[in-house]
Structure formats: structure tokens, C-alpha cells
């Protein structure tokens, strides 16, 4: 499995898919999504758990990948109503003040953010009377607010 794939020239405007699945070998849906991203022209894929199994993130490399992108797709399974630990760590270390937001932090401004998340339950479990009691969109509000803070368009 390739940990970093770029299917087009590394130029501004590519779609960056950041995959964060701690057990990808057991995921049917995320493996299919990953393969589709790898095969798509103009898409760069970064598999965080393959690149950083020790959580030692190369911030400069990740920020460079983000700068090249016109759109960022965060692909992950929803774990306890949130993103997996490594994706949260990646956001904390890479999307820094002065880079992603705040004074001088315009590297993500104008880019699109899309969340491609999977859940263990069907749509009915994310209804008011379902097991989770709330729509999935409610659990994605922190990501939506992150996009707004960084001047990104929420897709």
C-alpha cells in the first residue's frame, strides 16, 4: 500500500485526501474510498497511520501538501463521535496559528474542506429516535467551525 500517492503533477490545485484510519485493513468502506482516491487524476493521498505510526508528524511536509491543494478531504471513521486520535494530532500540529488561521495564517483560506467519514451504523441510527439521537451533521460541527476559522469553504 502506498503511503503517499500523487496522481498528477505536484502543482497547486490538486485535491488532497488525508486518510486517518487506525485499522484500515479491517475497513471495507475506507479501503474502497482510498483506492478510488489513488486512481483519481489530480488527487494526492496521505495515509496518516502509514506515514506516522509513531505519531511523529512531519509538520513541514504536511503544510507543503496543504499549500499545493485547492481542496482538502479528511477521510476517517467516526470514533466515539469524533475523528481518530492521529487526525486530531495532525490538526493540532499542522493547522497552526500563523499558518491556518490568525495573524498571517492564510495558507488554507479559500480552499474547500470536505469530510468523508464512515460510521458503524446506518442513517437510521443518526435520527432523533435512533441509537445516537442526533444527525451526523451535529457531530461534524467542530470540523465545520474549523473550516470557518481557517477561511475555508465547507463542502
Could you say which DSSP state residue 101 is in? B
Measured distance CA(58)–CA(65) in Å, rounded = 11
- pLDDT confidence of 120, banded at 50, 70, 90? confident
What is the predicted pLDDT for the residue at 11? 44
Pairing status of strand 14-19 against strand 69-77: parallel
What is the predicted pLDDT for the residue at 47? 97
Measured distance CA(110)–CA(28) in Å, rounded = 33
User: Could you tell me which residues come within 8 angstroms of residue 68 by beta carbon, excluding any fewer than 6 positions away?
Assistant: 10, 11, 12, 13, 14, 16, 44
Closest CA to 62 of 83, 82, 76, 48: 48
Weakest mean pLDDT among 5-14, 69-78, 83-92? 5-14
What are the tens digits of pLDDT across the range 82-103?
999 999 999 999 999 999 999 9
- pLDDT confidence of 13, banded at 50, 70, 90? confident
Amino acid at each position: 500500500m502506498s503511503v503517499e500517492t500523487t496522481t498528477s503533477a505536484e502543482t497547486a490545485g490538486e485535491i488532497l485526501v488525508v486518510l486517518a484510519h487506525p485499522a484500515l485493513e479491517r475497513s471495507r468502506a475506507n479501503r474502497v474510498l482510498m483506492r478510488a482516491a489513488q486512481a483519481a487524476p489530480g488527487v494526492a493521498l496521505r495515509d496518516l497511520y502509514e506515514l506516522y505510526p509513531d505519531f511523529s508528524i512531519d509538520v513541514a511536509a504536511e503544510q507543503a501538501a496543504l499549500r499545493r491543494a485547492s481542496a482538502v478531504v479528511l477521510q476517517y471513521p467516526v470514533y466515539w463521535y469524533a475523528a481518530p486520535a492521529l487526525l486530531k494530532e495532525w490538526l493540532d500540529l499542522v493547522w497552526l496559528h500563523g499558518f491556518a488561521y490568525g495573524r498571517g495564517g492564510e495558507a488554507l483560506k479559500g480552499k474547500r474542506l470536505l469530510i468523508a467519514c464512515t460510521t458503524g451504523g446506518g442513517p437510521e441510527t443518526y435520527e432523533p429516535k435512533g441509537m445516537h439521537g442526533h444527525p451526523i451533521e451535529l457531530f461534524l460541527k467542530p470540523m465545520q467551525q474549523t473550516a470557518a476559522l481557517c477561511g475555508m469553504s465547507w463542502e
